[in-house]
Structure 1
Amino acid sequence: MQPWWHAMGPLAWPLALCSLLALALILQRFWLFIGLQPVSQAAMRAAVSACRTCAREHCQGRVQGWRRGLALLLKHSALPAAQREEVLGCWLLEERQRLNSQLRLLQLIGVLAPMLGLLGTVLGMLQMFAGIAGQNSPVTPALLADGLWQALYTTVWGLLIAIPALAAGQGFALWAERYLQQVQALLNRCQLALDGLELEPVDSLARPQWVWS
């Protein structure tokens, strides 16, 4: 074993497990999010146009992301508007759960890892002071520094695990929320297009609307 592994003491294995689990979750979530189909202006115009004409061939074959919601809307285009909204609401809820899955576990690791590191530091300091108390020779600053260095090692590793885990968890949550807002806005427009209603041009969806008082 490496010296740094011995310096972490009994908390080495729990911290290693947290780091591996956090890395696996971050990679899995990142692979899912980069596979999301962007809601571009061209895609929005094509989707609204397909809803105006009920062109179901626009979503034939295997569709993913927001195109699944559009295909579901076109499939139930003959239903009343209230029932279509319920169908889309159920699909959006399932999509939200799919995107936010495992994020709470990732955030839990981000909270648990520094606590484990702090526990390792406390145990290391207890061991250090117990060793100092059993010595008859004078206590030198070098001896204290060496003991504190080893005691603080687990806290450093706990923070190194926690910071990326918390940042990734919050970042993925914001990513999912922004994506779902765009999908919901698109499906709302498609819903209106099925009923023969129109709003402002679709291009305005991609630009932020500023209101000055």
Structure 2
Amino acid sequence: MLALLQNMGPLAWPLALCSVIALMLILERLSVFLRLPPLSVSAGKAAVSACRDCDKQACHGAVRGWRYGLALLLEHSTAPSQQREEVLGCWLLEERRRLNRQLRLLQLIAVLAPMLGLLGTVLGMLEMFANIAGQDRPVTPALLADGLWQALYTTVWGLLIAIPSMAAGQGFALWAERYLEAVQNLLNRCHLAIDGLNLDLTPSASRVQWALP
């Protein structure tokens, strides 16, 4: 491993650092998203029923995800409608920040890694041609191929870091957006259920649009 890093030149260690940071961010975000409580149809119906009956024990002890938002709504069920909307709006904004945290850094690594790899390749080629210029023997294709092979290492490594980082960053962002849309729709239905209404809302027909960008 150390020999490989030495062959890759001075940009090897920055690329290694980028790969470690990207891996840590992906694992950390994956642990956050996998711990989100699933939002199934049956769970949504049970939540609306709990709000209709003002059953505050339905989500007792919830600490994350839509269940915590539902617990907040039930806790403030006796408050005026506008105050409930403000409470849920603040919570959804905080939940959006929590789910999207570190994704910009992950996308920054996805942009930075191939540029570092390309810079390493250019530096490697400069060194290769400098060595060739100092040769007093004929330059063979094998000598050129050996130098280019080592110089292109950093570009390959940069792309291997960038592709998973970009895919993970975009994938987590899409996951968060889909999840928050479903949560927003459910909380709108629950909000109306507390007010004594029973409407089958879709996300596009929601009465209250909370935490939209």
Same fold, TM exceeding 0.5? yes
Match of 1:183 in 2: 183
Match of 1:196 in 2: 196
- Distance in 2 (CA, whole Å) between partners of 1:198 and 1:74 is 16
Q: Does 1:102 align with 2:102?
A: yes
For 1:49-70, what per-residue CA distance to the aligned partner results, in whole angstroms no more than 9, with x for missing partners? 0111111011212432111100
| SS of aligned partner of 1:4 | helix
For 1:188-209, what per-residue CA distance to the aligned partner results, in whole angstroms no more than 9, with x for missing partners? 0000001111113x8x88xxxx
Match of 1:116 in 2: 116
Match of 1:159 in 2: 159
- Distance in 2 (CA, whole Å) between partners of 1:125 and 1:32 is 43
- Distance in 2 (CA, whole Å) between partners of 1:21 and 1:73 is 38
Q: Does 1:7 align with 2:7?
A: yes
For 1:51-93, what per-residue CA distance to the aligned partner results, in whole angstroms no more than 9, with x for missing partners? 1111101121243211110011111111221111111010000
On the 8 A contact 2:72/2:88 being kept in 1, the answer is yes
1:65-104 alignment runs, 5 A limit: 65-104=65-104
| SS of aligned partner of 1:56 | coil
Shift of 1:2: 4.2
For 1:123-179, what per-residue CA distance to the aligned partner results, in whole angstroms no more than 9, with x for missing partners? 000001111111121111111111111111100000001100110000000001000
Match of 1:48 in 2: 48
Q: Structure 1 residues 20 and 152 mapped into 2: Cα distance closer, same or farther (>3 Å)? A: same
Q: Does 1:36 align with 2:59?
A: no
TM-score (norm 1): 0.92
- Distance in 2 (CA, whole Å) between partners of 1:62 and 1:37 is 10
On the 8 A contact 2:124/2:150 being kept in 1, the answer is yes
Shift of 1:3: 3.4
Structure 1 stretches (4+) deviating beyond 6 angstroms? none
| SS of aligned partner of 1:84 | helix
| SS of aligned partner of 1:26 | helix
- Distance in 1 (CA, whole Å) between partners of 2:21 and 2:157 is 15
Q: What amino acid sits opposite 2:119 in the alignment?
A: L
Q: What amino acid sits opposite 1:23 in the alignment?
A: L
Q: Which moved more, 1:61-70 or 1:174-183?
A: 61-70
RMSD of equivalent CA atoms: 1.4
Q: Does 1:63 align with 2:63?
A: yes
Q: What amino acid sits opposite 1:196 in the alignment?
A: G
Q: What amino acid sits opposite 2:117 in the alignment?
A: G
TM-score (norm 2): 0.92
Match of 2:148 in 1: 148
The size of the alignment, in residue pairs, is 203
- Distance in 1 (CA, whole Å) between partners of 2:142 and 2:52 is 78
